[in-house]
Amino acid sequence: MGSELIYRGSETQPSSDSYSPKPVKPWASVTRTIHYLLREQRLLFVFVGIAIATLIFTVFPTSPAPYVAPHSRFTTLIPDSITYFPIETQQKFSSAHRLGFGSANPTSKIPLGLKRKGLRIVVTGGAGFVGSHLVDRLIARGDSVIVVDNFFTGRKQNVMHHFGNPNFELIRHDVVEPLLLEVDQIYHLACPASPVHYKFNPVKTIKTNVVGTLNMLGLAKRVGATFLLTSTSEVYGDPLQHPQKETYWGNVNPIG
């Protein structure tokens, strides 16, 4: 048996010189792909798919319009597709005119077919004068807003038109105490603003400004949020004009 195997092994073998591999065609994969596409009208189906997608993105160009508060002081054009209120409320406000800053469709800069990602934002002092207007604007833009306020000077009435909106939360909290929230942006407005209020308890005012701001900066650092701190025109020195006009910049140019 062994000798048989040895014998067969010594039979004439094809010499390595006679082997010649097939020549490699450089465009083989490309031509194969083209042939694949041309067969069975596949290319036609691709074009039809593109045409349908283009039609859909043209008819529905942007994401659904965001919630607009009915009593928002920065009124924006309220879309018919509003879903947070009963039909009669929608009809009541659907003819509202746009008066405030910003465009009727704040998502208009988003590329076709892409939905703008709403941000999670905390507004400290959001129940105050400036803060509540900011909250209206952010909600109208489609963001989720958490108002943190101790109601020292702010009022619940300033934000109560957002109650029931899933994009809105109100927390009674003093920023002097730490607070952990998962947010993308922090607007820090919590502070007694007018002299009669900040002189009421100067030590508490300093605590709010220093400890409160440190707490909010710590939160920003911890969750990687961007931070906006509102300050006072006092930082520009004693004004030479009173009341100050928008064109008066004091001792410093606030825009650099």
Ligand X SMILES: O=C(O)[C@H]1O[C@H](OP(=O)(O)OP(=O)(O)OC[C@H]2O[C@@H](n3ccc(=O)[nH]c3=O)[C@H](O)[C@@H]2O)[C@H](O)[C@@H](O)[C@@H]1O
Where along the sequence are the contacts to ligand X (CB under 6 A)?
A: 124-125, 127-131, 149-154, 174-175, 189-194, 208
Place of tokens 């039979």: 11
Contact of 126 with 185, CB cutoff 8 Å? no
Contact of 139 with 145, CB cutoff 8 Å? yes
Minimum distance of ligand X from residue 248's CB (angstroms): 14
Residue 105 Cα to chain centre, angstroms: 15
Distance CA 106, CA 67 (A): 11
Nearer to ligand X, 45 or 151 (CB): 151
Question: Longest Cα pair distance anywhere in the chain, in angstroms?
Answer: 118
Nearer to ligand X, 185 or 205 (CB): 205
Distance CA 2, CA 236 (A): 105
Nearer to ligand X, 107 or 208 (CB): 208
Nearer to ligand X, 177 or 182 (CB): 177
Nearer to ligand X, 33 or 233 (CB): 233
Minimum distance of ligand X from residue 45's CB (angstroms): 59
**Contacts for 60-63 with beta carbons within 8 Å, 24 or more apart?**
60/113, 61/112, 61/113, 62/105, 62/107, 62/108, 62/110, 62/112, 63/107, 63/110, 63/114, 63/115, 63/116
Minimum distance of ligand X from residue 133's CB (angstroms): 8
Minimum distance of ligand X from residue 61's CB (angstroms): 37
Minimum distance of ligand X from residue 241's CB (angstroms): 16
